[in-house]
Amino acid sequence: MNTRSDLRNPSTESTSAPARRELRGRGALLGIAGAWAATRAVMVLMLVWSFNSSNVVRVEVTATYHNWYNVLVTGTMPHNDIMWQYPPAAAAIFLSPDLLPFLTYFQAFVALTVLCDGLILVGLCRAARRSDGSMAGALLWLGGLPLLMATPFARYDVQVTLLAVGSLLCLRFRPKLGGVVAGIGAMVKVWPLLALLGTPRGKSTKDAVIAAALSCAALLAVFALLFRDTLGFLGNQGDRGIQIESLGGSALMFLRLIEVWPGEITFQYGAFEYTGPYVAAIARFSLALTVAGFLLLLLWRVKARRWTSATPLDAALCAIMVFTVTSRVLSPQYLIWLLGLAAVCLTSKHTTQRPIAWLVVIATGLTNLIFPVMYGTDILANTALGTFLLCARNGILLYATVWSGVRLWKATVPPAV
Share of the chain above pLDDT 90, in %: 79
Residue 23 resides in a domain: no
Q: What distance in Å separates the CA atoms of residue 276 and residue 272, rounded to the nearest whole number?
A: 13
Q: Given this model, what pLDDT does residue 106 score?
A: 96
Nearest to residue 286, comparing CAs of 334, 255, 322, 233?
Answer: 322
Average model confidence (pLDDT) across the chain = 90
Q: What is the DSSP string of 72-117?
A: HTTTB--TTSTT--S-TTHHHHHHGGGG-TTS-HHHHHHHHHHHHH
**How many CB atoms are located within 10 Å of the residue 256 CB?**
19
Q: What is the mean pLDDT of residues 4-30?
A: 59
3-state DSSP assignment of residue 242: strand
Q: Would you state the pLDDT for residue 56? A: 82
140: left (phi over 0), alpha (psi -120 to 50) or beta: alpha
Complete edge-to-edge strand list for the sheet that includes strand 242-243 = 242-243, 271-275, 264-268
Q: What is the pLDDT of residues 132-163, one digit of tens each?
A: 999 999 999 999 999 999 999 999 999 999 99
Q: Contact 54/46 with Cβ under 8 angstroms?
A: yes
CA 386 to each of CA 24, 56, 377: distance values in angstroms, whole numbers, following the listed order = 45, 18, 8
- What is residue 416's predicted lDDT score, i.e. its pLDDT? 75
How far apart CA 358 and CA 355 sit, in angstroms, is 5
Residues 27-45 have pLDDT tens digits of 788 999 999 999 999 999 9
d(CA 241, CA 249): 10
Residue 128 neighbours by CB under 8 Å, 6+ apart:
134, 135, 137, 138, 347
Residues 248-257: what's their mean pLDDT? 94
pLDDT of 19 reads 59
| Angle (CA) 95 156 352, round 5° | 145
More confident residue, 214 or 267: 214
Domain range for 341 is 28-412
Q: What is the pLDDT of residue 330?
A: 93
Q: Is residue 173 part of a domain?
A: yes
Give the dihedral of Cα atoms 23, 24, 30, 35; nearest 10 deg.
Answer: 170
Mean pLDDT of the 252-261 span: 94
Residue 97: asked if its preceding bond is cis (omega within 30°), the reply is no
Residue 207 has pLDDT above 50, yes or no: yes
Percent of all residues in the chain with a pLDDT value above 70, rounded to a whole number: 90
Q: What is the model's pLDDT at position 83?
A: 84
Total domains in the fold of the chain: 1
In a domain, 397, yes or no: yes
Instruction: Identify the pLDDT of residue 81.
Output: 82
Q: What integer is the mean pLDDT of 390-412?
A: 97
Average pLDDT over residues 280-296: 94
pLDDT digits (tens, 9 = 90+) for 50-99: 555 667 888 899 999 999 999 999 999 987 888 888 899 999 999 999 99
Give the tens place of pLDDT for each residue, 327-385: 999 999 999 999 999 999 999 999 999 999 999 999 999 999 999 999 989 999 999 99
Question: CB-side exposure of 192: number of CA atoms within 13 Å?
Answer: 35
For residue 298, give the amino acid letter.
Answer: L
Which of the pair, 417 or 278, is modelled with greater confidence?
Answer: 278
In this prediction, residue 238 has a pLDDT band, given cuts at 50, 70 and 90, of low
Q: Is the pLDDT of residue 296 over 60?
A: yes
Nearest to 342 by CA among 314, 319, 373: 314
Would 11 be classed as within a structural domain?
no
Write the burial class of residue 122 (CB in 10 Å: 0-12 exposed, 13-18 middle, 19+ buried): middle
What pLDDT does 337 receive?
Answer: 97
Q: What is the mean pLDDT of residues 386-412?
A: 97
SS3 (DSSP) at 120: helix
pLDDT (0 to 100) of residue 11? 46
- 270 falls in which pLDDT band (50, 70, 90)? confident
Banded model confidence at residue 8, pLDDT cuts 50, 70, 90: very low
pLDDT score of 53: 61
Residue 8 located in a structural domain: no
* Structural domain contains residue 182: yes
- Residue 350 domain-assigned (yes or no): yes
Residue 235 is predicted with a pLDDT of 62
Chain Cα centroid distance, residue 101: 28
User: What pLDDT score was predicted for residue 25?
Assistant: 66
Q: What is the predicted pLDDT for the residue at 231? A: 77
Quick check: is 13 in a domain?
A: no
Return the pLDDT at 18.
62
Asked if residue 161 lies in contact with residue 153, where contact means CB atoms within 8 angstroms, the answer is no
Residue 222, Cβ density class (10 Å: 0-12 exposed, 13-18 middle, ≥19 buried): middle
pLDDT at site 13: 45
